[in-house]
Structure 1
Amino acid sequence: MEIGQILQPSAVKTISSCTSKKRLFHDLGELAETSYGLNPSAVIDALIQREGLGPTGVGQGVALPHARMADATDVKGIFLRLEKALPFDSVDRQPVDLIFALIAPENAGVDHLKALALVSRTLRDNAICAKLRANSEPATLHTILTEFQPSQAA
């Protein structure tokens, strides 16, 4: 599995200001609708429900919100770069500015886990995160994410 298989160029965006985690989930829901035709309310509800089980902020300014939905046909990715970091209840208590959300079918099983592992390994790379933070153009962000090959393939 490669990031290019789960992340469409239209699902990458830079946002100048986001005021809350709830607003962030709304932005993710809107992008899921325009990029993948998913119901934005269902995406928002699924992400909020999953976040209620425990924060998905993994540290170093990165969050990996994810959820399973009946309407999803396969694993889909959405990437947001925030120009101003947002408090997110991350494990290191630092605000986040790089968000890679995953939406998977309810029965995705191992594909959802493979995608999560792939994205996690990619965003653990400090050089990749530095490049993402240094660019705001969605096409460039998509290229950075899809050209990187983590050392352990999922």
Structure 2
Amino acid sequence: MELSSILRPEAVKVFGTLSSKKRLFQDLGEMAASVYSLNGSDVVDALQERESLGPTGVGHGVALPHARLEGLDHVAGAFLRLEKPLDFDAVDRQPVDLVFALFAPKDSGVDHLKALALVSRTLRDATICAKLRANLDPAALHAVLTEGPASQAA
């Protein structure tokens, strides 16, 4: 599995300021609707439901919100680079500026876990995160995410 098979170029965006985690999930829902033809409100509900089990802010300014959804036949992703970090109740209490959301079929099983592990490994790489934070061009962000050595793993 490679990040290029999960993340479409049009699912990479840069946002200036978001007011809340709820607003972030709404924007992710809109992205999922336009890029992957998912029901945006279903995406928001699923992300919020998963987040209620425990925050998906994994530390070092990174969040990995994820949800399983009906009507999806493959794991798909969306990446947001936030210019102004957002409080996300992360494990290290640091605000988040790099958000990689994963959407998986309800019955995806191991593929969902492999994708989550791949994204997690990629965003634990300090060099990759530094490149993402130094860039505001969505095409360049997509290239950094999909061409890194971690994208060959899993």
Place the TM-score, normalised by the shorter chain, in its bin.
Answer: over 0.9
Asked whether the 8 Å contact 2:3–2:151 carries over to 1, the reply is no
In structure 2, the partner of 1:150 is 150
Asked whether the 8 Å contact 2:118–2:151 carries over to 1, the reply is no
2: CA distance between counterparts of 1:152 and 1:124?
15
The aligned runs of 1:64-103 (5 Å cut-off) are 64-103=64-103
Q: Secondary structure at the match of 1:52?
A: helix
**Stretch moving more, 29-38 or 143-152:** 143-152
Change (3 A) 1:71 1:149: same
Q: TM-score, normalised by structure 1?
A: 0.98
- Structure 1 gap segments, 5+ residues each: none
* Deviation for aligned residue 1:152: 7.6
1:37-85, CA deviations, whole angstroms, 9 ceiling, x for partnerless residues? 1110000000000000000000000000000011211100000000000
Q: Which amino acid in structure 1 is aligned with residue 67 of structure 2? A: A
- Structure 2 gap segments, 5+ residues each: none
Deviating 4+ runs (over 4 angstroms): none
In structure 2, the partner of 1:39 is 39
Q: Which amino acid in structure 2 is aligned with residue 54 of structure 1? A: G
2: CA distance between counterparts of 1:28 and 1:153?
25
1: CA distance between counterparts of 2:118 and 2:100?
11
Of all paired residues, the percent bearing the same amino acid is 68
2: CA distance between counterparts of 1:68 and 1:146?
23
